[in-house]
Amino acid sequence: MILKKPIIQYFIITMVLLCFGVNITLATKPSAKLINGETWLDTKGRPINAHGGGILFHKGKYYWFGEIKTGKTWRVQGQKWECYRTNAGGVCCYSSKNLKDWKFEKIALSPNMTDSTSDLHFSRVLERPKVIYNQKIRKFVMWLHVDSEDYSYARAGVAVSNSPEGPYEYIKSFRPNENMSRDMTLFKDADEKAYLIYSSENNATMYICMLSDDYLQPTTTYKRVFINQFREAPAVFKLKNRYYMISSGCTGWAANKAMLAVSDSMLGDWKMRYNPCKGEKSEITFGAQSTYILPLCKKKNQFVFMADKWNKTDLPNSKYLWLPIVIKNDSIHIPWQNNFTTK
């Protein structure tokens, strides 16, 4: 007998399997395998395009924001350093409940395709977007590094949205307190105070600046840390009332040694401690560069180190490394792990 209607076929097969005691849930799609340093796919099987990213946890879901890198990569002429870049594709948003199956939500912040004077024009640099929720204005606030092709603009841009996935409305960019701002991250503390952390003074010194209560502006309260130490790619977390920052050195797109620093308060006395990475290639952060440290919801004191494995001559083909941070007494380490898994 030839069954023409697939639905009838499916029904009969299901009944037969049930008769033989086969658990039908076996037929559900397995989670994507996130192999560190290889292409990661979204729930539609397309490569995840969310570089230099950060994650917001909101109402049971993780929202991953990152740079959209598409098209060709070229080297900007006239720069002494290896200034490779692609057109700015804006910021995308993916969501997941389990940190493995990532659904593409939307382009959260769109590039401007027509006005070459806009901060968001595709010819500019849009990097390292991070999002936090502001309780006071009940909006989601995104900050990102906004720059010109030669990275001389050095500003931090801010955008807002009523929903986590966007679309975000761009407000403006700042040089906080007239200081340069390049690689950046955000940190929101338990007391709802939030901080913008950014490489300044031509990347020589890291700045930590408290944001206004609505998170939409930098305040005049800020601190210079790691003075003349040339750190970038900052990522901050808090553990048992101490603050930790992992950052990289400044070697363009090439991987270098990560360092962990610690302080008793965000605007306190930050001390550079040691390289937290352990294993082969730990001297170059396993070939990657920090972007964010994700506190796991429901799992107190467990964090994931998120990093980008840049492919400087083909930037859209850059990959991700996510590694659980191992905390034992006073030691904080990031051992290599082939696949991203959490216990």
Rounded to whole angstroms, what are the CA distances from 130 to 27, 31, 115, 292? 37, 26, 24, 9
Kindly list the residues in this chain that would bind ligand DGJ in the complex (CB under 6 A). 52, 127-128, 183, 232-233, 252-253, 289
Shortest distance (Å) from residue 181 CB to ligand DGJ: 12
Tokens representing 33 are 């395998």
Cα separation, 36 vs 222, whole angstroms: 36
DSSP state string for 148-172: -TTS-S-EEEEEEESSTT-PPEEEE
Q: Which is nearer to ligand DGJ, 73 or 95 (CB)?
A: 73
Shortest distance (Å) from residue 146 CB to ligand DGJ: 12
| Residue 178 dihedral angles phi and psi, to the nearest 5° | 70, 15
Q: Which is nearer to ligand DGJ, 216 or 260 (CB)?
A: 260
Shortest distance (Å) from residue 15 CB to ligand DGJ: 55
| Residue 309 dihedral angles phi and psi, to the nearest 5° | -100, 95
Shortest distance (Å) from residue 82 CB to ligand DGJ: 7
Shortest distance (Å) from residue 162 CB to ligand DGJ: 28
Dmax of the chain from CA atoms?
Answer: 79
Distance of CA 73 to the CA centre of its chain: 21
Element (H, E) at 290: strand 289-295
Q: Which is nearer to ligand DGJ, 139 or 231 (CB)?
A: 231
Contacts of 266 (CB under 8 A, 6+ apart): 187, 189, 193, 195, 208, 210, 236, 243
Helix (H, G, I), strand (E, B) or coil at 338: coil
Q: Which is nearer to ligand DGJ, 34 or 233 (CB)?
A: 233
Q: Which is nearer to ligand DGJ, 96 or 248 (CB)?
A: 248
CB of 241 within 8 A of CB of 262?
Answer: no
Q: Which is nearer to ligand DGJ, 128 or 188 (CB)?
A: 128
Shortest distance (Å) from residue 80 CB to ligand DGJ: 12
Query: Beta 331-335 vs 277-278: how paired, if at all?
Result: parallel
Cα separation, 293 vs 331, whole angstroms: 17
Q: Which is nearer to ligand DGJ, 42 or 183 (CB)?
A: 183
- Please, which contacts does 205-209 make with residues 24 or more away whose CB atoms are closer than 8 Å? 205/229, 206/231, 206/234, 206/245, 206/247, 207/176, 207/179, 207/181, 208/266, 208/267, 209/176, 209/177
Shortest distance (Å) from residue 84 CB to ligand DGJ: 7
Q: Which is nearer to ligand DGJ, 165 or 183 (CB)?
A: 183
Shortest distance (Å) from residue 289 CB to ligand DGJ: 6
